[in-house]
Amino acid sequence: MNIERSERVKTLPPYLFKELDRKKEEVRSQGIDIIDLGVGDPDLPTPEHIIDALKRAAEDPANHRYPSYTGMFDFNEQVALWYRRRFGVTLDAGQEVVTLIGSKEGIAHLPLAFINPGDTALVPDPAYPVYDIGIRFAGGTSYFMSLVKENDFLPDLSSIPSDVAGKAKLMFLNYPNNPTSAVATREFFESVVQFARKHNIIVCHDAAYSEMAFDGFSPISFLEIDGAKSVGIEFHSLSKTYNMTGWRIGFAAGHPEVIGGLGQIKSNIDSGAFQAVQIAGIEALKGDQSCVDNMRRIYAERRDILVEGIRKMGLRLNLPRATFYLWIEVPEGYTSAGFTDHLLTRGGVVTTPGNGFGSAGEGYIRMALTVDKKRIAEAVKRIESIGF
Ligand SMILES: *Cc1c(COP(=O)(O)O)cnc(C)c1O
């Protein structure tokens, strides 16, 4: 039998981290101690009260069946209450919220509801790869909006050719941003709403890092902007806020027609998140939020140690006000891949080459603050000693 993969799979962009994964294993197999600043996955455990809520819910046979409509609704209602408290945004839990099996799931599925083969979507570069992948799987094509330092890593909407803006169906945005750690201003979001209205573009804002911010800074929601709910939606996740990446629970909120379209795709593909996980998610959103302050304090400490060390070596980067990423310019004479390779093979420090997030990421590496401060200090010492 001749098994052949579909064109949509065969034409996927090459996985740029494959070579890095191979080298990492090679270095590890030589017995070298590896400090992994590569993966954006919190190393801290899920807070106890959320685990307890899951344990109780897992014991209840009512939660062993397909999630019920009301079970789903209880979580959505909690999402609406959380939006109200956190951002002052009012949502109709029945029409304007959908529960996701992690926000990645919703991001990947959303284009299936709105993109026809041949359609265009606007996607940042560098970016979380799932935006472009979701558009490809729906048969669409991404127009990449470069995020450059000179424009504070915000897309320059005025540079998008009018024929592209005219035919674009949707736009993905992500602030606080992975991988650049940039944050969006209210003025920028206002210009996005105007642009989207003018060109009839659905805006999908990914706010996975809205709670991971430092020095008293509180990122805004896209839905806070006047008119935002009439042009788009916002994706959210419990993954980063509550150290729940493995639990697979997130949500999207905003325009009821957009939420409805995503919901229609989902109801034909999955049957919702495990109800016990939704109940634990309710506990996360409405319970004591001191665990979130704790998470921010820990990452801020790590950030300060790493930023200070990196700057002392003469490398350039912006101090992140949010996210657990440092977006660092590579030194003279190196490419992203070359510098990543140098740090790994000479120092045992794993970082991510910026071009893995898109061609505009060339010239940068990303470090994630996902090891404790002793290991971060050790990484700084090693990089200092190997030099570059
Ligand atoms: C981590 C991350 C998410 C969250 O993904 P989940 O599927 O909810 O775990 C979403 N967007 C970006 C940009 C991320 O980095």
With a 6 Å cutoff on the Cβ, whether 239 touches ligand 1 is: yes
Structure tokens at 51: 């685990």
| Residues 260, 372 within the same domain | no
Provide the token pair at 130: 């799932």
Residue 103 counted as domain residue: yes
Q: Which of 252, 286, 320 is the last residue of a domain?
A: 286
Q: Would residue 355 be called left, alpha or beta, if left means φ above 0 and alpha means ψ between -120 and 50 degrees?
A: alpha
Residue partners of 87: CB distance under 8 A and separation at least 6: 220, 221, 223, 224
In a domain, residue 56? The reply is yes
Same domain, residue pair 66 and 184: yes
Alpha-carbon distance 300 to 45, whole Å?
Answer: 17
CA distance 350 to 366: 10
Average pLDDT over residues 201-218: 98
Residue 304 contacts residue 310 (beta carbons within 8 Å):
no
- For a mutational test of ligand 1's pocket, the pick from 172, 173, 178, i.e. the residue with the most ligand atoms closer than 8 A to its C-beta, is 178
Ligand 1 lined by 208 (C-beta under 6 Å): yes
pLDDT of residue 70: 67
* Whether 214 and 330 share a structural domain: no
CA of 237 to the centre of ligand 1 (A): 7
- Average pLDDT (188-213) is 98
* In contact, 347 and 382? CB cutoff 8 Å: yes
Q: What percent of the chain has pLDDT over 70?
A: 99
In this predicted structure, what is the pLDDT of residue 19?
81
Q: How far is the CA of 120 from the centre of ligand 1 (A)?
A: 23
Q: Beta strand 325-329 with 120-125: parallel, antiparallel or unpaired?
A: unpaired
Asked if residue 249 is part of any domain, the answer here is: yes
User: Cα dihedral sign for 173, 176, 179, 180?
Assistant: positive
Residue 189 near ligand 1, beta carbon < 6 Å: no
CA distances to 124, 172, 314, 320, 358 from 213, rounded to whole Å, are: 21, 21, 25, 8, 25
Mean pLDDT of 141-169: 98
* Band (68; pLDDT cuts 50, 70, 90): confident
Choose among 349, 372, 385, 384: nearest CA to 32.
349
- Does residue 128's CB lie within 6 angstroms of at least one atom of ligand 1? yes
Best of 109, 237, 295 for a ligand 1 pocket test (most atoms within 8 Å of beta carbon): 237
- By residue count, the chain amounts to 388
14: pLDDT confidence band, cut at 50, 70 and 90? confident
For the residues 223-250, what does the mean pLDDT come to? 98
Summarised one tens digit per residue, pLDDT across range 238-261 is 999 999 999 999 999 999 999 999
Percentage of the chain exceeding pLDDT 90:
95
In this structure, are 345 and 265 located in the same domain? no
How many domains does the chain contain in total?
2
Q: What's the CATH code of the domain at 347?
A: 3.90.1150.10
Q: Is residue 1 part of a domain?
A: no
Residues 94 and 24 in one domain: no
The predicted pLDDT at position 117 comes to 97
- Tokens coding 119: 């359609």
178 Cβ inside 6 Å of ligand 1:
yes
Whether residue 102 has its Cβ less than 6 Å from ligand 1? yes
Q: Does residue 124 belong to any structural domain of this protein?
A: yes
* Pair (59, 26) in one structural domain: no
Answer yes or no: are the C-beta atoms of 342 and 351 closer than 8 Å.
no
Closest CA to 126 of 344, 334, 325: 325
Can you spell out the DSSP letters for 185-249?
A: -HHHHHHHHHHHHHHT-EEEEE-TTTT-B-TT--PPPGGGSTTGGGTEEEEEESTTTTT-TTT--
Q: Is ligand 1 within 6 A of the CB of residue 46?
A: no
Same domain, 278 and 337: no
Same domain (yes/no): 109, 224: yes
Distance 250 CA to ligand 1 centre (A): 9
Question: Residue 312 Cα, ligand 1 centroid: separation in angstroms?
Answer: 31
Kindly state whether residues 203 and 267 are assigned to the same domain: yes
Which ligand 1 atom minimizes the distance to the CA of 41?
1
Provide the pLDDT for residue 378: 98
Q: Can you give the residue range of the structural domain that contains 232?
A: 48-286
Residues 6+ apart with CB under 8 A from 94: 73, 76
Q: Which atom of ligand 1 is nearest to the CA of 178?
A: 13
Grade residue 71 by pLDDT with cuts at 50, 70 and 90: low
For residue 152, give the CATH number of its domain. 3.40.640.10
Same domain, 39 and 90: no
Cβ–ligand 1 distance for 250 under 6 Å, the answer yes
Could you tell me if residue 2 is inside a domain?
Answer: no
Which band of pLDDT confidence, cut at 50, 70 and 90, is reported for residue 167?
Answer: very high
Residue 72: both structure tokens together:
């789903």
C-alpha 253 to ligand 1 mean position (Å): 15
Q: How far is the CA of 33 from the centre of ligand 1 (A)?
A: 28
The reply to whether ligand 1 has any atom less than 6 angstroms from the CB of 99 is no
Mean pLDDT of 189-201: 98
Examine the domain organization and report whether 226 and 369 are in the same domain. no
Encoding tokens for residue 170?
């949707």
User: What number is the average pLDDT over the span 195-211?
Assistant: 98
Domain end residue (candidates: 237, 256, 286): 286
Ligand 1 centre distance from Cα of residue 235 (Å): 9
pTM of the predicted protein model: 0.97
Asked which of 19-28, 183-192, 206-215, 257-266 is least confident by mean pLDDT, the reply is: 19-28
pLDDT band at 21; cut points 50, 70, 90: confident
Identify the domain boundary among 244, 268, 286.
Answer: 286
pLDDT above 80 (res 269) = yes
For residue range 308-365, list pLDDT tens digits in order: 999 999 999 999 999 999 999 999 999 999 999 999 999 999 999 999 999 999 999 9
40 and 66 in a common domain: no
